Amino acid sequence: MLSKKAKYALKALLFLSKNSDTGTILIAEISEKEGIPKKFLEQILLELKKQGILQSKRGKEGGYLLGKKPSEIIIGNVVRIIDGPLAPIPCVSKMAYRRCDECIDEKTCEIRNLFMQVRDATIEILDNTTLEQLEQKNIL
């Protein structure tokens, strides 16, 4: 499930992308227009800045702007930055694998096999969708 934090990150990125012609944008403006608590948004934007998704400027003309072109920002990467692995359960995660305590045989576990398909479909969609496509509603 997508966390509220990741949803807010995507909303903020969309707002910045749609308003990129105005230059830097203050956190307060994003917060107000998108209904995101300001303190929470500050943490989110800082994480995205550390990963090169955003840039910031200080001073009178300060604020945030995209650090990459919208066509270069992959939604799957943003979700991973904020929420971690995309796998719905730990035993199908590629990056944070953890065997289920109650599992007798992973190879024959129907639940694991189903959620491996869910993981693969999720990755396929999110890793092949850019911020530009999301903004243009040009997905799939």
pLDDT at 140: 47
Average of pLDDT values for 16-34?
A: 93
**Using CA atoms, how far apart are residues 13 and 81, in angstroms rounded to an integer?**
13
CA distance 19 to 3: 24
Chain-wide mean pLDDT for the chain?
A: 91
CATH code, residues 4-66: 1.10.10.10
Percent of the chain's residues with pLDDT above 90: 68
pLDDT tops 80 at residue 60 = no
Residue with more model confidence, 88 or 131: 131
CB-CB contact of 85 with 96 (8 Å): yes
Question: In angstroms, rounded to a whole number, what is the distance separating the alpha carbons of residues 44 and 48?
Answer: 6
Residue extents of the structural domains in the chain:
4-66, 85-130
The two structure tokens encoding residue 38: 């300001």
